[in-house]
Every structure is written in C-alpha cells, then in structure tokens.
Structure 1
Amino acid sequence: MTTPGEKAAVAWLASAAPDPDASRRAWERNPLGVALLPAGRLWDVLILPGELGRTTLGVLDPAVGRPGPVLADFGASRLGFFVPPGTASHWIGTGVRGVGHGAWIVVPHPGRATGGVRWAVPPDGRGTLTDPVLLELAMHEAAARGREKARNR
C-alpha cells in the first residue's frame, strides 16, 4: 500500500519528466520499479564513491536532521545526493561525479524494493534537497575521518 508521503514523492519525482503522467504510469508498471528521469530541472545529483558517500551521509544526517534524497546503488558502492539544479555544472571535487542538465538518472519508485538502486534517504515529496554548502562541509569532515581511520590502522 502506498502512503501519502510516497504518493507525494512519486508526484514530485515524476514532475521532472517531460510528460509526468506518462512517466509515472510507465514507472509504476515497470517490474523493476525504476524510471529514467532527467536531471537538471528540479535537481542535480552528486555521486560520491561508497566509503566517502556513506561517511558523508553519516555526518550530514545529524547535522541537518534530514538531508534531501540520497540514492545508493547495489552494495552502496556509490551514493547520489540530490542537490539544487545547476550544482553539478559548478562542482569541483576529485572522485565526485555531477549529473545535471542534459543527463538522465535511474530512479527507484519510492516505497518499493528494487534489486539495484535504492533510496538511502527517500524523497519527502516536498522537494527538499541537500544544501551543497552543507554537503561540501560534510564531505570534508568525512574525508578527515577517513584519513584518521587510515592512520589508526
């Protein structure tokens, strides 16, 4: 059963598509529970490598209460943080991939399990995104923790 929050999240995500209704219907019928949605209109995605991404989320989560949506691939080897449109074109960071205007991303249906990509933090349906400045600060803290952990081995 779909909750009101999941319905709002579906509507918000689908609104990024050129034809939101057709996109939503196809997405809901897809046996894999995923859709290909365009980045750059409502959000960009910054994709971080696994360990840095997981640690960044661990730093960010208590700092902001609830960050914007975060995708994780199978095994959480990469995490994708949803940030305001235009962020990807200005982002400079080693190992960070920006997905913005002109690119598409595989997005799972909120509330449904998939075999590959999943929500580490599902969308709230209100369009909450992660503030790029806070994300950058959390990434610096995560990197520092990673260096400290490596020194203590």
Structure 2
Amino acid sequence: MPVVPALWDLVTVPARQGLEAVDILRRGAGDAVGPVLHDDGCDTLGFLVPPGTAAGWDVPGSTCTETDGRGLTLPPLPPVEGSDWLLPPGEADLATDPAVLRAALGEAARMIEAADSCR
C-alpha cells in the first residue's frame, strides 16, 4: 500500500462543507482530491494539502495547520489520532491543490447557504 509524504499541511473544515467539496472535486477531475480525513465524531474533514499552504490560507470557516515537515513518510494509517480516512491514500496519493480546494469549498458554502435558505 502506498505511503503519503509527511510534507503536507492540513485544511480542516466542517463535515457538511467538506463532504460537498469532496463531491465537487470528484465530479470535476476524479484525481483532483487527495487523501481526506474525518474525525471520529464526524464533525470535521481534513484535506491534505502541500506544505506552505497554511502561511496563506484565509478561507472563512476553515483552518489550515502547518506540519513539522520532517520529511518522514506516513503509513496508510491516519496521521492524526482520533481520525480515520474518508479517502485513503491510494493511486492518487498526492495532496489536494489548495487553489482547487479553495474554489470547491467556496462552491460548497454557496450550495449549503442556498439549501438552508430554502427551508
């Protein structure tokens, strides 16, 4: 089974927005989304993005955590305690492009807002 480079940052979003974004990314180019984590409570999703993303991340409602960047590799086990893979590392084990993720999260937020306003 492939390993994921530890050189990544982690974008964390509310689960609903994250699931919408995953659908948007998978409908576009199927390989546009890299590995995705979910927490045990299914409250949040975490997208692995390239290192350095945290320095310029400013998407409302999300956070981007910088990793230590020691260059180690992670086994296919979740790298964060209390989490599991929604989309495990596999053939497309690259980190998600931050610009593509930013656009998908924006579209997801607009879809959720529209759906909530129809209630």
Distance 1:50 1:64, change over 3 A: same
Separation of aligned partners in 1, 2:12 and 2:39? 10
Provide structure 1 residue ranges, at least 5 long, that are not aligned to the other structure: 1-5, 17-41
Partner of 2:109: 143
CA RMSD of aligned residues (A): 2.5
User: What is the CA distance between 1:111 and its match in structure 2?
Assistant: 6.8
Letter of the structure 1 residue corresponding to residue 11 of structure 2: L
Equivalent pair of 1:84/1:129 in contact (CA under 8 Å): yes
Partner of 1:73: 39
Q: Does 1:61 align with 2:21?
A: no
Equivalent pair of 2:59/2:102 in contact (CA under 8 Å): no
User: What is the CA distance between 1:101 and its match in structure 2?
Assistant: 3.9
TM-score, scaled relative to structure 1 = 0.64
Point out the structure with the larger helix share: 1
User: Which protein is bigger by CA-based radius of gyration?
Assistant: 1
Provide structure 2 residue ranges, at least 5 long, that are not aligned to the other structure: none
Letter of the structure 2 residue corresponding to residue 140 of structure 1: G
The number of equivalent residue pairs is 112
Partner of 2:86: 120
Q: Which has the higher contact order (CA 8 A, sep 6+)?
A: 2
User: What is the CA distance between 1:52 and its match in structure 2?
Assistant: 1.1
Separation of aligned partners in 1, 2:75 and 2:43? 20
Distance 1:121 1:86, change over 3 A: same
Q: Does 1:93 align with 2:55?
A: no
Letter of the structure 2 residue corresponding to residue 44 of structure 1: D
User: What is the CA distance between 1:126 and its match in structure 2?
Assistant: 6.4
Partner of 2:100: 134
Q: What is the identity percentage for the equivalent residue pairs of Structure 1 and Structure 2? A: 35
- After TM superposition, the runs of 4+ consecutive aligned structure 1 residues lying more than 3 A away are none
